């Protein structure tokens, strides 16, 4: 499973990239707003830190403007994945971009039917938002299971399932058990993966016992 971080905070991205465990970055207009930085220079900065896919989202909703924005975004770096909404115009842009060899992340997916359309349009990634589905009483992980199962029936589909709107570590674990290709998480959730009270307790005991030996490895 690939790990993307869902943030536009360059300091968080640099910290996670330094672990060697980060495979990519996803951004969206809300995250750009939160960063307080100019969009294009920020994406350029992120691309200089991360060698994997960096999702940069178009801001318009009509085909002609979306296409112009997408064309500008993909010129930032070869590993920019242009992010488009799952709408008729968005999928039209996706098809054109994918036919020209540009990675596309189709976002705001909430149904298996939508995911089929994205795969048909050649999306590199489909982003189902499981947390938002959970918020309205649906089961987001069931959607992931459905999409993974459908895509598995058709070897010609090359679209990777990128689980988005991750709220907790169990969303990651369950998505991995289902067979999702990618998860994109806030930095705080990725950091929660490290934690377990028994790890902390065991390490404290080992450290204390080592002190008692009076030895030094260095």
Active-site amino acid positions = 83
Q: What SS3 state is found at 195?
A: coil
Distances (CA, A) of 38 to 31, 44, 78: 12, 10, 20
- CB < 8 Å & 24+ apart, contacts of 137-142: 140/165, 140/171, 141/171, 141/174, 141/175, 141/178
User: CB–CB of 166/6 below 8 Å?
Assistant: yes
Q: What is the dihedral of CA 2, 3, 5, 11, to 10 degrees?
A: -120
User: CB–CB of 9/45 below 8 Å?
Assistant: no
- The beta strands (E) that lie in 38-103 are given as 54-57, 80-85
For residue 165, how many C-alpha atoms fall within 13 Å in the half-sphere facing its CB? 19
Q: Which of these, 130, 85, 89, 91, lies nearest to 111 by C-alpha position?
A: 130
């Amino acid at each position: 499973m690939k790990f993307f971080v869902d943030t536009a905070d360059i300091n968080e991205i640099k910290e996670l990239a330094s672990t060697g465990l980060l495979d990519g970055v996803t951004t969206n207009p809300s995250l750009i707003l939160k960063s307080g930085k100019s969009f294009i220079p920020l994406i350029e900065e992120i691309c200089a830190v991360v060698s994997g896919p960096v999702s940069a989202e178009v801001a318009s909703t009509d085909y002609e403007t979306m296409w112009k924005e997408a064309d500008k975004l993909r010129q930032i770096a070869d590993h920019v994945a242009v992010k488009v909404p799952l709408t008729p115009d968005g999928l039209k842009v996706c098809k054109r971009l994918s036919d020209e060899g540009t990675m596309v992340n189709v976002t705001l997916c909430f149904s298996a039917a939508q995911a089929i359309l994205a795969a048909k349009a050649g999306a590199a990634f489909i982003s189902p938002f499981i947390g938002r589905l959970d918020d309205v009483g649906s089961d987001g992980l069931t959607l992931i299971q459905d999409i993974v199962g459908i895509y598995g029936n058709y070897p010609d589909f090359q679209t990777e399932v990128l689980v988005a709107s991750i709220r907790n570590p169990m969303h990651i674990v369950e998505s991995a058990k289902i067979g999702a290709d990618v998860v994109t998480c806030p930095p705080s959730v990725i950091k929660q993966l490290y934690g377990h009270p028994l790890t902390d307790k065991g390490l404290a005991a080992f450290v204390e016992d080592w002190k008692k030996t009076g030895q030094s490895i260095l």
